[in-house]
Amino acid sequence: MNTVPTMMPTPKVEGLLESEQDELNALFRVWATKTQRNALRVEYYDGHNALKDLGISIPPALKRVDTVVGWPAKAVDTLATRSMFDGFVTNGELEDPLELRPLLDANQFDFLYAQAVVSELTHSVSFITTTLGGVGEPDVLLSLRSAEFSAALWDFRRRRIRSGMAVVDMSVEQPVEPTLLTMYLADWVITCQKMQKTWRVVDRRMNPLGRPLMEPMPFKPSERRPFGRSRITREVMALTDMAQRAALRSDVLMEFNTAPPRYLLGGDDEAFKDSKWTAYMSRFLAISKDEDGEKPELGQMSQLSPQGAISYFEHLGARFSGATGIPLSSLGIARENPESAQAMTAAKDELVTTAQAMNRVNRISLTNVARMALALRERVPLDRLPPEAAALQARFRNPALPSIVSQSDAMVKQITAIPKLADTEVALEELGYDESQIRRIQSDWRRNQAPGMLDRLANARTVNGGPNDGPVGPPPLSVGA
């Protein structure tokens, strides 16, 4: 899907009520205003940002050299990998009385969430929409809507989306513009399409939930900015620009050092009649005396040290590390004096803390998505869902990503202090098992325990007199004297 110019008129759609058209106008203005900035952040994430030359030290012929610094992608991906969705729990248990897992699997939700987190960190927010599926689709369709092609208005009183819009399709010819979009209102889901030069409503479906079927996943939301902040901040982009220039200057410097300038005093131009480069690279260079019989003087200028450029690049890496919490080693910078274990632990702790804060917000968003999906599947309002839905919570893996050895060692110490902890699902979670593995372990336990229970019952019957002596159990209570 192509990006869209910032300045473009809001479509006037036949079939919309006046209030709906007003809402579309507001949504379209938000989307058009943010389009270029969102596209810029995608360029930095993909490493396609153009070189911002200061016009001082880089020769014009070398400004076209493709120099890529992938730090913005590192800032996004390093944090995104620490947010790992691991299913839903009800009343603190992994049992699935609501049969939510088949719905999630039909939508490949684990994969969808991994994409949504990257989009959230890149643009500050991503959206997940919930609609009834069509032919060949799941009963309830969950879709990712990137902020690059969607917009929403915030309801500060209800602390949720007031309305939302998603651009579903774009024109392939110039001028690039939307041709199909969907509005998510509190009572309706409306699809609008451009036919020739006229916009029309092509589908209108009632929304029985009384709230837009569009849920935001914001990164670091605040009262002033409910849709969050991008991980690719202005500081990140500025440092990337400086690092890009520093990397290109290093390349230019090394090119000059590969062929350092030489000089010839009193030489004859005939020695360079073919090519100065050929003469420079030749293994043997014969130069005759000048007309006065003096030998020409041949010399070489000293090479420039690359240490200054390397130190400056490392300085920029340190600033980037401070701005994002990414360790220097992850930025490809290896120093003679490596970071201490304490410094590396501090950098990791900052990432873990940021991931935990992000997961707390995303847990609310995913729980809302799951409840809306269940309500649509059961064709009931949100307030008529089963009691188990009220206790539904999204679950995430430990963002610290500890090794199996360290995690097991810590869990053994906790179980030693609290023995009953060994019989809980939490113990299996902390040992690093995911939802599917825990279910398989518990299933195997139940299957292996069944023969043992039958043996115990048979032994009890034998002790009490054999199989024909009546039911196994304690003697009846005596009544009276």
* pLDDT of 288 higher than 90: no
For the chain, which residues make up each domain, given as ranges? 1-167+211-259+305-401, 261-301
Distance separating alpha carbons of residues 275 and 270, to the nearest angstrom: 10
Give the containing element (helix H, strand E) for 249. helix 234-258
Q: How far is CA 292 from CA 83, 257, 296, 344, 360, in A?
A: 80, 34, 11, 69, 87
Contact 49, 43 (CB under 8 A): yes
CA-based Rg of the chain, rounded to a whole angstrom?
33
- Report angle CA 152, 116, 202 to the nearest 5 degrees: 50
Dihedral angle at the C-alpha atoms of 412, 418, 419, 420, nearest 10 degrees? Answer: -120
Distance separating alpha carbons of residues 103 and 81, to the nearest angstrom: 24
If pLDDT is split at 50, 70 and 90, which confidence band does 327 have?
Answer: confident
pLDDT at 286: 54
Strand order in the sheet with 125-132: 140-146, 125-132, 214-218
* pLDDT of 389 higher than 70: yes
If pLDDT is split at 50, 70 and 90, which confidence band does 478 have?
Answer: very low
Task: Report the DSSP beta bridge partners of residue 154.
Answer: 161
Which of 51-65, 89-103, 383-397, 398-412 is most confident? 383-397
* pLDDT of 125 higher than 80: yes
Residues 6+ apart with CB under 8 A from 450: none
Distance separating alpha carbons of residues 109 and 88, to the nearest angstrom: 12
Closest CA to 131 of 72, 190, 90, 51: 190
If pLDDT is split at 50, 70 and 90, which confidence band does 214 have?
Answer: very high
pLDDT at 245: 86
Tally Cβ neighbours within 10 Å of residue 105. 11
Instruction: Determine the average pLDDT of the residues in 152-160.
Output: 94
The more confident residue out of 52 and 104 is: 104
- The single-letter code of the amino acid at 208 is P
* pLDDT of 157 higher than 90: yes
* pLDDT of 109 higher than 60: yes
Return mean pLDDT, the chain: 81
* pLDDT of 279 higher than 70: no
pLDDT at 400: 85
pLDDT at 253: 74
pLDDT at 162: 96
Is there a cis peptide before residue 402, judged by omega within 30 degrees of 0?
Answer: no
Helix 234-258 / helix 307-324 crossing angle, nearest 10 deg: 160
Contact 130, 142 (CB under 8 A): yes
pLDDT at 373: 95
**Six token digits for residue 479:** 């009544």
Q: What is the pLDDT of residues 412-435, one digit of tens each?
A: 777 787 777 777 777 776 666 766
